[in-house]
Amino acid sequence: MNVLKENIAEFKTDFPKNWSFLWSPEEAEKISEEHKDQIHFLNKKGTEIVNEYLNSSKMLAYSIGTDWSPFTKGYFKTEKKFSVTMDSDSEIKKWLYNLGIPFDKYVFVDSDNSGQAIMLTWKMVIKYCEGMFWDTDLTIFDGSLNWALFYYHESQLFFGKDNVFDQEAEFEKNLEQNKLLNEIKNRLK
């Protein structure tokens, strides 16, 4: 089990009373119990922890130029890009499926339109992608930080995987992440 996933479970909360990637609160209530069991919105503290964890990774650093990418240059060995177009839901789902992430893998969304971070299975990302990828920038990642999916609000999906190991950068990142994980444990006390 992932350290972030283990520690974040304490911060689960009810589905939001405002719009989210599941659309309106009324529509969100209508999804199956099986799906609700795989989608966990996080409270304010949980959202802060997920955001801090992602920020401490130094994964995101918007580049400029013709080869624009949301990821820090050289962070991932492999990057893929997908253009989202009108009525491309089936193509998006196929592309996401072909990324090879196990359906039962829990991943994190830094925050959606509800303003809350979310822990959910990859299967739910694919199932409800049309609600996630339509309005605002959004990052989905797993606790290992070995891959990330970024939706850019101008209809672009970016996927990076196999983070490149840089000993000095990893040392700094681990210091920050260990500090954050200690803060999480202290908040739980």
- Which pLDDT score, from 0 to 100, does residue 171 have? 65
Tens digit of each residue's pLDDT (9 = 90 or more) over 50-109: 999 999 888 998 767 677 899 998 899 999 999 998 888 999 999 999 999 999 999 999
Q: Is the pLDDT reported for residue 1 higher than 60?
A: no
Check residue 63 and give its pLDDT: 67
CA 30, 33, 36, 38 dihedral sign is negative
Which residue type occupies 144?
Answer: S
- In this structure, what DSSP letter does residue 69 have? -
Instruction: Order across the sheet with 76-83: list the strands.
Output: 12-13, 39-42, 118-121, 106-109, 138-141, 147-152, 156-163, 76-83
